[in-house]
């Protein structure tokens, strides 16, 4: 079975000093890791930045949209 068939993966991450859990598909976790590497920041720092900029959007959705924008921009 491929990773996509397993569905979202839940991970805990610290944002602004607080632990939170996020569920994303494996492909999005991999893309976020590549984006963090490209930007030379940790995954936690990348997620914190996206969190600070997301407004009222759900964090998991904001992360997916950020991956989409970075992909379209050729960043990853």
**pLDDT score for 4:** 52
Return the exposure string of 35-69: e unless at least 16 CB atoms fall within 10 Å of the residue's CB, then b: bbeeeeeeeeebbbebbeeeeeeebeebbbebbee
Beta bridge partners of 23: 10
pLDDT at position 28: 97
**Model pLDDT, residue 9:** 95
With a cut of 50, say whether residue 1 has pLDDT above it.
no
Predicted confidence (pLDDT) at residue 5 exceeds the cutoff of 80 = no
Predicted confidence (pLDDT) per residue in 8-64, tens digit: 999 999 988 899 999 999 999 999 999 999 999 999 999 999 999 999 999 999 999
Q: What is the CB neighbour count within 10 angstroms for residue 76?
A: 18
Whether the model clears a pTM of 0.85, i.e. scores above it, the answer is yes
- CA dihedral sign, ordered 54, 57, 62, 66: negative
CATH assignment of 3-72? 1.10.3990.20
């Amino acid at each position: 079975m491929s990773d996509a068939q397993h569905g979202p993966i839940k991970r805990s991450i610290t944002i602004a000093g607080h632990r939170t859990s996020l569920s994303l598909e494996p492909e999005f976790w991999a893309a976020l890791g590549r984006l963090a590497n490209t930007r030379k920041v940790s995954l936690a720092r990348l997620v914190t930045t996206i969190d600070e900029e997301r407004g009222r959007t759900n964090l998991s959705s904001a992360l997916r949209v950020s991956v989409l924008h970075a992909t379209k921009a050729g960043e990853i």
